[in-house]
């Protein structure tokens, strides 16, 4: 422990002593005392805390400080603390306990941080983007298809601190599954890192499969004359796919650098990380394919909309041409000249109407033949 931490601890101890003394003597109102106790929301941020020795979870759910102290005394022991959206003060205290600096705190609490791996002293900071598919009855211009969040792992020689933000990426199943694999869990803290990455990649595959179904539905309705998909629907799905791509694609680089940065990575896990990277590459390829397909669907739909508009304009022009025949003839006879053909003829009006009808029929046949009508 550094001199700064020691002096800080002494100052906090003196402040607590003074405050308790004031409460006991009646100088300080008792309602100030609960400020020193853990806040309920901070307790709620702790999802689980467990001590593992030789791949086996030890009984109970100890406090992190006690479990970490025990883990440091065990050669094959480590503690895994799971947090969900902790407060800044709570996480700062935990970071100081494991020797992480303020930069690690800022990066861990940054919910928009891209996937990355970084070594800070004795602590490795691994950030992942979580994802989940959001069920929806139909795709609209505002449908949420993919929900993303963040998980950051602080990994040291005797500890793992996982911090999750957002509704996606719950780690309870990861912990239970890993505890059923004692041989993997016995490889130390990096087994947790591997299990979390493995689960994230599995979820990516599931989300990609569900998104593929939405893309196929859009493709089926893209060229329908009636009831086809709107351009807004295609664009919304493309936006959601881009959000998913931002969670998946940047993870490739940290996975490739995993063995270079983490020298303490057990040899048995290196092959496992290679297998997970291969599956991650498959997801990236699928997402890229869906993105290109949506681009094609969007361009095709825009072309279809333009073609429909051209057809409508041709129909309007054709009907305007048909209306122009009687309009032109009536306009000539409406000029009221004295000497015009048929004015004094008994059948003049009928002949003019017949000429109008014949001209319109001829134009109608021509427009139908050219598929303007």
Q: What is the per-residue burial (b if ≥16 Cβ within 10 Å, else e) of 59-73? A: eeebebeebbebbee
Structure tokens at 51: 């001590």
User: What pLDDT digit, counting tens, does each position of 123-148 carry?
Assistant: 999 999 999 999 988 888 888 999 99
What are the structural domain ranges in the chain? 1-37, 40-304, 313-369
163 phi and psi angles, rounded to 5 deg: -125, 120
The per-residue pLDDT for 163 is 95
The per-residue pLDDT for 362 is 87
Residue with tokens 């890993």: 178
Contact 62, 159 (CB under 8 A): no
Q: Beta partners for 77?
A: 53
Using CA atoms of 223, 225, 227, 228 in order, give the dihedral in degrees to the nearest 10: 20
First to last CA, the chain: 87
Structure tokens at 136: 């929806």
The per-residue pLDDT for 191 is 92
Region for 296 from its dihedrals, namely left if φ exceeds 0, alpha if ψ lies in -120 to 50, beta otherwise: alpha
Cβ neighbours around 353 below 10 Å, total: 12
Beta strands in the chain (DSSP E): 46-53, 56-57, 77-84, 116-120, 123-133, 146-155, 159-165
- The dotted CATH code for 40-304 is 3.30.460.20
Q: Which of 21, 19, 24 is nearest to 37 (CA)?
A: 19
- What are the strands of the beta sheet with 56-57, ordered from one edge? 56-57, 46-53, 77-84, 159-165, 146-155, 123-133, 116-120
**Tell me, what DSSP letter sits at residue 229?**
P
Contact 21, 66 (CB under 8 A): no
Distances (CA, A) of 36 to 29, 32, 92, 133, 252: 13, 8, 16, 41, 44
Q: Which of 219, 184, 213 is nearest to 199 (CA)?
A: 184
The per-residue pLDDT for 24 is 36
Q: What is the pLDDT along the chain (373 residues), one digit of tens a residue?
A: 444 443 444 444 444 444 444 433 343 333 332 333 344 445 778 999 999 999 999 998 899 999 999 999 988 899 999 999 999 999 999 999 998 988 999 989 998 889 999 888 889 999 999 999 999 888 888 889 999 999 999 999 899 999 999 988 889 999 999 999 999 999 999 999 999 999 999 999 999 999 999 888 888 887 776 666 778 888 888 899 999 999 999 999 888 887 565 566 777 788 888 889 999 999 999 999 998 998 888 888 777 777 777 877 888 888 888 888 888 888 877 777 777 777 777 787 888 888 888 888 988 888 888 888 7
**Which of helix, strand or coil describes residue 266?**
coil
Regarding beta strands 159-165 and 77-84, do their DSSP bridges make them parallel or antiparallel, or are they unpaired? parallel
For the entire predicted model, the pTM comes to 0.73
Structure tokens at 87: 């407060």
The number of angstroms, rounded, from the C-alpha of 248 to the middle of its chain's C-alpha atoms is 9
Q: Give 62-84 as a DSSP string.
A: --HHHHHHHHHHSTTEEEEEEEE
The per-residue pLDDT for 147 is 92
**Which of helix, strand or coil describes residue 162?**
strand
């Amino acid at each position: 422990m550094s001199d700064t931490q020691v002096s800080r601890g002494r100052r906090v101890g003196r402040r607590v002593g003074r405050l308790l003394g004031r409460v006991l003597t009646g100088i300080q109102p008792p309602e100030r005392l609960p400020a020193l106790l853990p806040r309920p929301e901070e307790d709620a941020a702790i999802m689980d805390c467990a001590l593992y020795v030789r791949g086996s979870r030890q009984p109970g759910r100890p406090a992190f400080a006690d479990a970490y102290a025990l883990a440091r005394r065990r050669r094959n022991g480590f503690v895994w603390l799971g947090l969900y959206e902790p407060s800044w003060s709570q996480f700062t205290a935990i970071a100081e306990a494991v020797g992480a600096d303020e930069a690690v705190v800022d990066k861990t609490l940054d919910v928009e941080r891209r996937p990355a791996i970084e070594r800070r002293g004795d602590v490795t900071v691994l950030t992942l983007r979580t994802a989940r598919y959001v069920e929806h009855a139909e795709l609209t211009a505002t449908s949420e298809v993919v929900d993303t969040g963040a998980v950051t792992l602080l990994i040291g020689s005797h500890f793992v601190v996982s911090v999750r933000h957002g509704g996606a990426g719950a780690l309870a199943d990861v912990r239970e599954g890993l505890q059923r694999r004692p041989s993997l869990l016995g490889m130390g803290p990096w087994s947790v890192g591997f299990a979390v990455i493995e689960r994230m990649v599995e979820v990516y595959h599931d989300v990609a499969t569900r998104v593929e179904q939405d893309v196929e539905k859009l493709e089926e309705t893209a060229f329908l004359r009636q009831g086809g998909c709107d351009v807004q629907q295609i664009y919304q799905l493309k936006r959601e796919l881009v959000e998913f791509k931002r969670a998946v694609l940047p993870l490739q680089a940290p996975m490739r650098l995993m063995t270079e940065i983490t020298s303490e990575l057990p040899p048995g896990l290196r092959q496992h990380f290679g297998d997970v990277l291969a599956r991650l590459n498959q997801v990236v390829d699928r997402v890229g394919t869906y993105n290109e397909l949506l681009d094609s669907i969007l361009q095709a739909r825009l072309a279809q909309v333009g073609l429909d508009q051209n057809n409508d304009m041709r129909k309007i022009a054709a009907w305007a041409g048909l209306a122009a025949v009687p309009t032109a003839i009536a306009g000539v006879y409406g000029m009221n000249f004295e000497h015009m053909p048929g004015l004094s003829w008994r059948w003049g009006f009928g002949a003019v109407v017949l000429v109008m009808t014949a001209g319109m029929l001829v134009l109608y046949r021509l427009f139908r033949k050219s598929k303007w009508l």
